[in-house]
């Protein structure tokens, strides 16, 4: 069983779309389920390096270590949950093709073993994202898609600059060789490369000051697409960012710089969310804030903090999937995404979903988000980054203001219409919420997995 299947099977299925006619959603589910099984079959066999073609220096290789496998499984699982949610609706061809492309490109990003392949998958993922943004086909969607493309083109240019400099100075595209030889380049070129890569990957990873475009895009796309962006796409780019960072053994000062950018990300995003009146934008700000926290945690270099970061990635993906799908229900029912829809609906189920989602994002026990947060904070305290600990706690308080404002609106005494949610949707969303609670009470197994992922990331580049 080859690693290429993660990339080729979904793309092949996309090409065969006309053949599948009306059974698209079942084919899609079957495809992703089999990919998930394939991923699980690799569990005992790590690490794997698969060389696809010719000899060096042209070789294209796919590398599977525990971090990549973790992310592949996470992405495919989230996609399966997403597809299961939509199973009662007919699947349009675009969704079929785009979800396949998304999984293919994101798996490629995570599995790829040479830097140019990463660029290719980076571009494929970007194209998928552009089209996903425009799916609504209205003015906002196209406006958002065009803006996204402009930002994406800037990112490609910087990324290409970085990759070209790497090849010019090292002469190989393979990540392993680059990791070995990177320190031999002279330092000003190193800086140039690192900055180009930072901007190229950072625009997509949505870190301050490169994330000013994100919120508009979330407003432009439909909520289902936002769920995919928030859960899958941004996590892939963040992992990629730090995978490369740890591979290149960047030194303490640069890690400190990344942490600072993370803190500023978190602070600016959460503060901006305070005065926002549009629910989609609020969720977008929240995503940016959590990405800031991830940057702080992932750049610390501490085992425990990284464990917490990966735990947070899992939690955040599921939570944002659940929250955006719930928001979708509200937005379609009321036709508006302004904040006052929270005072117009009556549904205990939705209130509980939102409550679990928000409390988990804030890191309040006994939900999963708390485990992630305390692991991150413990790791940061261990390496004595006390300012980071304080910053995270204070800004979380800011986050609490607007989340609880939304919850408070659901309890206000106003004219309320009942919300119709089908039983099937309730089951899917409810099981996501239950999973979040479960992870808060019994986090041990996932923590162990995240710990091994953290070790593999920290040891990246040492072959």
CB of 57 to another protein, least distance (A): 6
| Residue 140 vs 181, nearer CB to another protein | 140
Show the binding pattern over residues 155-194: x = contacts another protein (CB under 8 A), - = does not: -xxx-xx--x--xx----x--------------x--xx-x
Residue 337: φ, ψ to 5°: -115, 20
CB of 252 to another protein, least distance (A): 15
Q: Is 275 in the site for another protein (CB under 8 A)?
A: yes
Q: Which of 67, 145, 228, 325 binds another protein (CB under 8 A)?
A: 145
Report 53-112 residues binding another protein (CB under 8 A): 57-58
| Residue 146 vs 463, nearer CB to another protein | 146
Q: Residue 329's closest CA among 214, 429, 410, 402? A: 429
Q: Is 398 in the site for another protein (CB under 8 A)?
A: yes
| Residue 32 vs 344, nearer CB to another protein | 344
CB of 34 to another protein, least distance (A): 28
Q: Which of 277, 346, 416, 462 binds another protein (CB under 8 A)?
A: 277
Q: Which of 5, 255, 381, 421 binds another protein (CB under 8 A)?
A: 381
Q: How many residues interact with another protein (rule CB under 8 A)?
A: 102
| Residue 31 vs 315, nearer CB to another protein | 315
Helix axes 423-441, 66-85, angle to 10 degrees: 150
| Residue 77 vs 276, nearer CB to another protein | 276
Contact 336, 345 (CB under 8 A): no
- Cα dist from 174 to 25, 56, 117, 195, whole Å: 37, 9, 9, 20
| Residue 192 vs 458, nearer CB to another protein | 192
Strand partners, 278: 338
- Cα dist from 375 to 48, 142, 301, 381, whole Å: 29, 41, 13, 10
Strand partners, 64: 48
| Residue 145 vs 294, nearer CB to another protein | 145
Stretch that binds another protein, among 9-17, 211-219, 311-319, 425-433 (CB under 8 A): 211-219
Gyration radius of the chain's alpha carbons: 21
Contact 327, 270 (CB under 8 A): no
Note every long-range contact of 336-341, with CB atoms under 8 Å and residues 24 or more positions apart, other chains counting: 337/219, 337/278, 337/279, 337/280, 338/277, 338/278, 338/279, 339/276, 339/277, 339/278, 339/279, 339/282, 339/406, 339/409, 340/409, 341/279
Q: Is 46 in the site for another protein (CB under 8 A)?
A: no
Contact 451, 303 (CB under 8 A): yes
Q: Which of 45, 90, 209, 422 binds another protein (CB under 8 A)?
A: 209
Q: Is 378 in the site for another protein (CB under 8 A)?
A: yes
Q: Is 37 in the site for another protein (CB under 8 A)?
A: no
Report 324-363 residues binding another protein (CB under 8 A): 355, 359, 362
Q: Is 135 in the site for another protein (CB under 8 A)?
A: no
Q: Which of 67, 215, 296, 353 binds another protein (CB under 8 A)?
A: 215
CB of 277 to another protein, least distance (A): 7
Element (H, E) at 412: none
Q: Is 231 in the site for another protein (CB under 8 A)?
A: no
Element (H, E) at 22: none
| Residue 94 vs 123, nearer CB to another protein | 123
Stretch that binds another protein, among 16-24, 95-103, 144-152, 239-247 (CB under 8 A): 144-152
Q: Residue 371's closest CA among 299, 291, 451? A: 451
Q: Token match 């299925």: residue?
A: 13
| Residue 66 vs 113, nearer CB to another protein | 113
Show the binding pattern over residues 108-127: x = contacts another protein (CB under 8 A), - = does not: --------x--xx--x--xx
Contact 141, 221 (CB under 8 A): yes
Paired tokens of 409: 């609106």
Show the binding pattern over residues 409-428: x = contacts another protein (CB under 8 A), - = does not: x-xx----------------
CB of 351 to another protein, least distance (A): 9
Q: Is 278 in the site for another protein (CB under 8 A)?
A: yes
HEC assignment per residue over 26-89? HHHHHHHHHHHHHHHHCHHHCCEEEECCCCCCCCCEEEECHHHHHHHHHHHHHHHHHHHHCCCC
How far is Cα 281 from Cα 204, in angstroms, rounded to an integer? 18
């Amino acid at each position: 069983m080859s690693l290429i299947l993660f990339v080729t099977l979904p793309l092949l299925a996309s090409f065969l779309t006309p053949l599948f006619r009306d059974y698209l959603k079942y084919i899609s589910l079957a495809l992703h389920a089999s990919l998930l099984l394939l991923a699980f079959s690799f569990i005992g066999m790590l690490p794997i390096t698969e060389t696809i073609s010719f000899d060096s220096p042209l070789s294209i290789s796919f590398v599977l270590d525990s971090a990549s496998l973790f992310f592949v499984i996470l992405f495919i699982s989230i996609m399966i949950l997403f597809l299961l949610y939509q199973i009662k609706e007919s699947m349009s061809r675009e969704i079929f093709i785009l979800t396949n492309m998304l999984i293919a490109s994101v798996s490629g990003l995570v599995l790829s073993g040479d830097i140019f392949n990463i660029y290719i998958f980076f571009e494929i993922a970007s194209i998928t994202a552009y089209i996903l943004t425009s799916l609504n086909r209205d003015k906002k969607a196209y406006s958002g898609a065009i803006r996204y493309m402009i930002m994406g083109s800037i990112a490609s240019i910087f990324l290409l600059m970085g990759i070209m400099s790497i090849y010019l100075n090292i002469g190989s595209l393979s990540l392993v060789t680059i990791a070995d030889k990177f320190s031999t380049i002279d330092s000003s070129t190193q800086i140039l490369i690192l900055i180009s890569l930072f901007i190229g990957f950072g625009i997509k990873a949505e870190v301050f000051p490169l994330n000013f475009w994100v919120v508009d895009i979330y407003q432009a796309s439909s909520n289902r697409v936002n769920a995919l962006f928030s859960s899958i796409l941004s996590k892939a780019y963040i992992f990629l960012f730090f995978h490369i960072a740890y591979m290149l053994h960047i030194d303490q000062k640069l890690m400190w710089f990344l942490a600072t950018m993370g803190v500023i990300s978190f602070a600016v995003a959460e503060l901006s969310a305070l005065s926002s009146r549009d629910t989609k934008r609020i969720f977008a700000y929240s995503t940016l804030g959590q990405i800031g926290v991830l940057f702080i945690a992932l750049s610390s270099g501490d085992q425990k903090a990284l464990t917490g970061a990966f735990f947070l990635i899992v939690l955040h993906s599921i939570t944002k999937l659940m929250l955006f799908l719930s928001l979708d229900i509200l937005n379609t029912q009321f036709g508006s995404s302004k904040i006052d829809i929270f005072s117009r609906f009556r549904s205990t189920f939705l209130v509980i979903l939102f409550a679990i989602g928000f409390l988990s994002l804030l890191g309040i026990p006994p939900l999963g988000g708390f485990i992630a947060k305390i692991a991150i904070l413990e790791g940061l305290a261990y390496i004595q980054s006390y300012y980071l600990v304080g910053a995270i706690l204070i800004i979380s308080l800011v986050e609490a203001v607007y989340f609880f404002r939304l919850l408070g609106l659901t309890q206000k005494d106003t004219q309320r219409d009942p919300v119709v949610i089908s039983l099937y949707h309730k089951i899917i969303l409810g099981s996501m919420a239950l999973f979040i609670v479960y992870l808060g009470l019994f986090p041990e197994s996932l923590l162990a997995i995240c710990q091994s992922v953290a070790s593999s990331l920290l040891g990246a580049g040492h072959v």
